[in-house]
Amino acid sequence: MIPIEFYLVLSAFMFITGVVGVLTRKNAIIVFMSIELMLNAANLSFVTFSSFLGNNIGQLFVFFVMTVAAAESAVGLAIIIALFRNKLTINIDEINILKW
């Protein structure tokens, strides 16, 4: 039997890695991938609790999270494409018109 803490620590670590990726990378697509990493960490946490508590609500929620993640990545990548067409770059630092 693996204690619950191991799963949760793993989930936390993946989450933090995703956060660091979002905050530091300059390439927009890498940022998106880090976001997916964060979502997966959350999914892992849900499934862990669902399994340990004997309730399938967690897994149902994971189902919906995946749906939303899929939709979001589709739209997000479409936006990146549109952005690329206009600015010819996907470096986040150069997409900064909404500033002082």
Partner 1 sequence: MIQLIYLTVLLPFAGFLLNGIFGSKIKNEKVIGWIGSGTIGLSFLIVVGAFFETLAFPVEQRQHIITLFNWLSVGSLNVSIAYQVDQLSLTMALIVTGVGFIIHVYSIGYMHGDKGFWRFFAYLNLFIFAMMNLILADNFVLLFLGWEGVGLCSYLLIGFWYDRKFEKSTTSDAAKKAFIVNRIGDFGFLLGMFLIFLTFNSLNFNEVFTRANALNISTTVYSFIAIFLFIGATGKSAQIPLFVWLPDAMAGPTPVSALIHAATMVTAGVYMVARCSIIFASAPAIMTVVAVIGLVTALFAATIGLVQNDIKKVLAYSTVSQLGYMFLAMGVGAFSAGIFHVMTHAFFKALLFLGAGSVIHGMHDQQDIQKYGGLKKYMPTTYKTFLVAAIAISGIPPLSGFFSKDEILWSAYANAGFIYWFIGVVTALLTAFYMFRLLNLTFEGKHRFDVQHIHPHESPNLMTIPLIVLAVLSVLGGFIGIPEIFSGEHGNNFHGWLEPIFANAQVRLAQYGSHTHFEEILLMVLSVVGAAASIFFARHVYLKNQKIAEHTASKFKGIYKILFNKYYVDEAYDKAIVQPIYKTSESLLWKITDVKLIDGLVNGTASVIDFVSGKIRKIQTGVAQTYAVVMMLGIVAALFWIIYSL
Partner 2 sequence: MITLQIILFSVFAFIAVVTSILVVTRKNPIISALFLVLNFAALAGIYLLLNAQFIAVVQVIVYAGAIMVLFLFVIMLLRPEYEKNFFEENPKMKWLALTVGVVVFFQLIYTIFFGKLSAAIHQNMAKSVEIGTIESIGRGLFTTYLIPFEAAGFLLLAAAIGALVLAKKHFD
CB of 96 to partner 2, least distance (A): 13
- Among 76, 69, 70, which residue's Cα sits nearest to residue 90? 76
CB of 60 to partner 1, least distance (A): 26
Among 12, 24, 52, 60, binds partner 1 (CB under 8 A): 24
Q: How many CB atoms lie within 10 A of CB 46?
A: 19
Q: How many CB atoms lie within 10 A of CB 68?
A: 11
- Among 66, 67, 22, which residue's Cα sits nearest to residue 43? 66
Residue 54 interaction partner, one of partner 2, partner 1, none, beta carbon < 5-8 Å per kind:
partner 2
For partner 1, the closer CB: 1 or 98? 98
- Among 20, 21, 45, which residue's Cα sits nearest to residue 33? 21
Among 1, 2, 88, 98, binds partner 1 (CB under 8 A): 98
Restricted to residues 56-85, the positions that interact with partner 2 (CB under 8 A) are 56-57, 59-60, 62-64, 66-75, 77-82, 84
